[in-house]
Amino acid sequence: MRQIIAGDGTYLNTLADVAWALHHTKKDGKTQGQVRLNMQMDVQNWCPQVVSVSGDDGSEPAAFAADLLSEVLYVLDRNFLDFGFLTCLLERNNDFVLRIRSNAPAVQVLQTLPLSAADAEAGVVADQIVSLSGRGAPEGRFRRVTIKTINRQGKEETILLLSNLIDPQIAAHVIGSIYRMRWQIELFFKWLKTWARLDHLLSTSRNGITFQFYVAVIGVLLMYLQSGKRVSVYALAALGRLARGQCTLDEAMAVIARRDRERQMSRARQQRARARKKLV
């Protein structure tokens, strides 16, 4: 099995006067700047393989095409349906599993493959060999897998997947399982914004923003290794004091431990209060 790489981008808030950022007007009439963090991540170990920063300088597929790896398996969402991007990806001897829309791309069905019991159990309702049509469409045979599933809102959802994994030895439900691994990059982005506190950027340059990303990730991971606990806002404040030379490592760890005890005691009090309300 090739290394599985999830590719996606997430938007981060930055200062409004960053000229190359994307800009939009908020409800209060103020201008907000945003940049996109483009990441290619190994889904097995959450290790970023390629990171870049974009503003208003092009589409997401174009940003990723410049930094594609070779001989890996990419897992991608619908916004990467771009024939030029797919051509670049295939030219580097990569495989891909890409979610597509119900109305795009246009395809010609060449063969319908039989479904196994495992496919049916996984919700697969169609497994087809297709060719793509349209201006700039990559040549060759591809695979379109249709899966019926229940989304997080409890509603039925149809997922269409396009892949170049046309070997029938690779079962359709396996392609579905590969696509589900893409969720790891969404979890990473949530972790990045929530626990690494990278929800607002201070630098105004691409290099500075990239540097801030790496510092945040390395700092949070080191604190986790040191404390063995999920990083909190108090731990990040202690890290800042330590970096400025305002306390020692032992003092910082003592603050983190004290805050952790206080949070545990607060949660215990809340649980007792809720229990008393239920008795009444």
For position 187, what pLDDT does the model report? 86
For position 15, what pLDDT does the model report? 67
Bridge partners, residue 121, by sequence:
none
For position 262, what pLDDT does the model report? 86
Place of tokens 């030029």: 84
Going residue by residue through the chain, which has 280 residues, state the pLDDT in tens, using 9 for 90 and above.
789 999 999 888 776 566 667 776 677 777 667 888 899 999 988 888 998 888 877 789 998 998 999 999 999 999 999 999 999 999 999 999 999 998 889 999 999 999 999 999 999 999 999 999 999 999 999 999 999 998 878 889 999 999 999 998 999 999 999 999 999 899 888 877 776 667 667 777 888 888 888 877 777 777 777 767 666 667 767 777 776 788 888 888 888 888 888 888 888 888 888 888 777 6
For position 258, what pLDDT does the model report? 86
pTM: 0.78
Q: Which of 30, 71, 22, 69 is nearest to 48 (CA)?
A: 69
Q: How far is the C-alpha of 25 from the C-alpha of 32, rounded, in Å? A: 6
Q: Which letter, b or e, does each residue of 53-72 get, where b requires 16 or more Cβ atoms within 10 Å of its Cβ?
A: bbbeeeebbebbbeebeeeb
Q: What is the 3-state secondary structure (H, E, C) of 157-213?
A: EEEEEEECCCCCCCCHHHHHHHHHCCHHHHHHHHHHHHCCCCCECCCCCHHHHHHHH
Helices 249-279 + 233-243 axis angle, to 10:
170
For position 16, what pLDDT does the model report? 59
> Which residues are within 8 A (CB) of 183 and not within 5 positions of it... i.e. 6 or more apart?
none
For position 255, what pLDDT does the model report? 84
Chain centre distance of CA 161 = 18
Q: Which of 263, 207, 211 is nearest to 235 (CA)?
A: 263
Q: How far is the C-alpha of 229 from the C-alpha of 239, rounded, in Å? A: 14
